[in-house]
Copies of this chain bind each other. A is one copy, B any other.
């Protein structure tokens, strides 16, 4: 049951307005400063994360009162709705707090679990990527078409981005997979923030391995990659030590994704 393109366009436009509004809240906070709190899981959060998520939830409630919302900082609303907005107002809060500009807002709309709209917005980099199912992927308004790497590309020429070893080792220890990937694909970057996704969706890197993250970290990436002509494969889906779902995925240009999946095939998920 596919979503009519007119509806996709309407939700896509709404998501862009939400990203604009997030920038309007975040930019003055960058000038003015913000409060940082340590969460129960030892990660950091700021009052800016909270202010953006509250405001986006208000906008969604006003425009689409029957839609659900899943966000990093507040409890889910309308979890039974087929339409779910999934929000991470500042993905890479640790980088945001320390002034590393790779953080970004991640906004997505899923319909019965299928991603329909995805936006990642980087106020500090002035980069935005956005996609709607059937509408293509755009970077700052320019359509993106990924070109696959030639099959003969040597591994050290594959431009990989991946999660830090901290991510690979949390919940279930897959540090050995980090070691294997970094050995086999030594031309790698680690950003620890949303820019990793953006770099892949725009072809600035060839592929991404994202490990042991929550649903809001990955919610926009599949539609962004697929609408750009790339491939997205969910490789892990298990409950974390806190009971929340943890997802891992490989995405990017089809050839490099295939080669990365071969490394995963050699390292199946250990028993938890």
* Residues of A in contact with B (beta carbons under 8 Å apart): 94, 98-101, 124-125, 127, 156, 159, 164-166, 169, 175, 178-179, 182-183, 186-192, 199, 202-205
Name the one of B125, B183, B189, B202 contacting A125, with C-beta atoms under 8 angstroms: B125
Q: Which of A100, A175, A179, A203 has the most CB of B within 10 A?
A: A100
Residues of B with C-beta under 8 A to A182: 165, 178-179, 182
Task: Check B165 against A99 for contact (C-beta < 8 Å).
Answer: no
**For residue A191, which residues in chain B have a CB less than 8 angstroms away from its CB?**
189, 191
25 contacts between A and B (CB under 8 A): A94-B159, A98-B203, A98-B205, A99-B204, A100-B189, A100-B199, A100-B205, A101-B125, A101-B127, A124-B125, A164-B186, A164-B187, A164-B188, A165-B182, A165-B186, A165-B188, A166-B186, A175-B183, A178-B182, A179-B182, A182-B182, A187-B192, A189-B190, A189-B192, A191-B191
In order of increasing CB-CB distance, the 6 nearest A-B pairs are: A166-B186, A165-B186, A190-B190, A98-B204, A99-B204, A165-B182
Quote the shortest CB–CB distance from A185 to chain B (angstroms): 9
| A179 nearest in chain B by CB position | B179
A101 / chain B contacts, CB cutoff of 8 Å: 125, 127
Q: In the bound complex, do residue B188 and residue A99 qualify as a contact, i.e. CB atoms below 8 Å apart? A: no
Q: Which of B188, B190, B204 sits near A100, CB closer than 8 Å?
A: B204
Task: List chain B residues, Cβ under 8 A from A98.
Answer: 159, 203-205
Residue numbers in B under 8 Å from A183 (CB-CB): 165, 175
Residue of B nearest to A166 (CB): B186
Alpha-carbon gap, A192 to B156, bound state (A): 13
Are the CB atoms of A188 and B188 closer together than 8 Å?
no
- A178 contacts across to B, CB distance below 8 A: 182
With contacts A94-B159, A175-B186, A190-B190 known, what are 18 further pairs, Cβ within 8 A? A98-B204, A100-B199, A100-B204, A100-B205, A101-B127, A156-B166, A164-B186, A164-B187, A165-B182, A165-B183, A165-B188, A166-B187, A166-B188, A169-B186, A175-B183, A188-B190, A189-B190, A189-B191
Query: Could you say which residues of chain B place their CB within 8 Å of the CB of A94?
Result: 159
Q: Which residues of B contact A189 (CB under 8 A)?
A: 100, 164, 190-192
Q: How far is the CA of A187 from the CA of B182 in the complex (A)?
A: 15
Chain B residues near A127: list those with CB within 8 A.
Answer: 101
